[in-house]
Amino acid sequence: MKKSRIYTRRGDGGMTDLVGGVRVSKTDIRVEAYGTVDELNAHIGELVTYVETEADRIFLTEIQNKLFVIGSYLATDAAEAEKRGCRAVTAEEVARLEQATDEAENGLPEWRGFILPGGSRGAAVCHVCRTVCRRAERRMLDLSEVSPLQSETCAYMNRLSDYLFVLSRKMLFVAGKNEIVWNKC
């Protein structure tokens, strides 16, 4: 059996294919949006290595799978997505993130103000995930100005950043570490 090669050389000129075959520049906002979702997914993969509880690892892996679905949705030309009836995120999935955020927040000390990223390696990685998630959301909103997106998809990313913030607090709490509260000077 012949081994397929990972490289095609088709992107050497700065163009790439969307799902459905449409060629676009690698600097296209759609490529930027799904590329940032992919970057977030990679960071969450690192975060999983720091998470202590099996339930949190499983949930983060579910999120990674959902991010692949979102990336695929974003990588599909709008006309092709409509033709295929693509749906990346449901309202129930957004609600599940809200529920997970509430569950992660249960038992945590009252939030005392802006928190500096850090306190532990895992919490710091969680904050990196949160900020990349915010950037992915912004790129998706940029894309939505030229190509409509399902509202649940952007809502999911918004809730995901909230979940990651609370998860960072939970990780510190479980590890017995203190949050680093911003000193306004």
pLDDT at 101 over 90: yes
Q: How far apart are CA 106 and CA 13, in angstroms?
A: 51
**Whole-number average pLDDT of the chain:** 90
Q: Can you say how many angstroms the Cα of residue 146 is from the centroid of all Cα atoms in its chain?
A: 21
Q: What is the pLDDT of residues 8-25, one digit of tens each?
A: 776 667 767 767 778 876
What pLDDT shows up at residue 42?
Answer: 98
- Total-model pTM: 0.90
* String of DSSP letters for the chain: -PPPPS--STTTTSEEEPBTS-EEETTSHHHHHHHHHHHHHHHHHHHHTT---HHHHHHHHHHHHHHHHHHHHHTB-HHHHHHHT-----HHHHHHHHHHHHHHHTTPPPP-S-EES-SSHHHHHHHHHHHHHHHHHHHHHHHHTTS---HHHHHHHHHHHHHHHHHHHHHHHHHTPPPEE----
Q: What is the pLDDT of residues 59-90, one digit of tens each?
A: 999 999 999 999 999 998 777 666 666 678 99
